[in-house]
Amino acid sequence: MDWFAKAFIRASLLWFIAGITLGLAMAIHPAWVMYRPAHAHMNLMGFVVMMIFGVGYQMLPRFFGHPIHSRTFAVAHIWLANLGLAALVGGFMLSPHIGADAIPVTATGGTLWALGAYGFVYNMWRTFNAAERRRRLNEQAAPARKLPTSD
């Protein structure tokens, strides 16, 4: 398994623990419900989507039988996704206390996270296109044999 796929899966599990912990804290101390956006993003973007990224990096190139287009993009993605989500969650945590002054933090975090996600889509798309090109070239190089018919 590529290290960046493992890194996404591990990060996913850590974000899940963080989201569970914040959710438990909100249940114990209901006034903390003001942190609900941070809790939701930890669980949805941190756990669910990062798990999808990790499994996607591991499985999708194998489904198409072609190596990933850019390992460099995948490595950049792990950093953009986690740093971006940390800033986004931090901004959500700050927002009840400092109001609109938290907007640059959430905006920066969201932008970093989105850039990583766009890179994932681009990387997968290029991987799929390369696999399709290779399949077509292989078909042209070795035309399919016709099976005998009973005419």
The pLDDT assigned to 139 comes to: 82
Please give the single-letter amino acid code of residue 58: Q
Please write the tens of the pLDDT for every residue from 38-91.
Answer: 999 999 999 999 999 999 999 999 999 999 999 999 999 999 999 999 999 999
Q: Which DSSP state fits 69?
A: S
Task: Provide the pLDDT for residue 146.
Answer: 64
- What's the confidence (pLDDT) of residue 135? 85
Domain ranges of the chain: 3-140
From the list 61, 98, 78, 67, the residue with the least C-alpha distance to 15 is 78
Reported as a single tens digit per residue, the pLDDT across 7-27 is 999 999 999 999 999 999 999
Whole-prediction pTM value? 0.88
Q: Which DSSP letter does residue 77 get? A: H
Question: Residue 62 has which token pair?
Answer: 């194998």
Report how far apart, in Å, the C-alpha atoms of 138 and of each of 29, 128, 130, 131 are. Answer: 62, 15, 12, 11
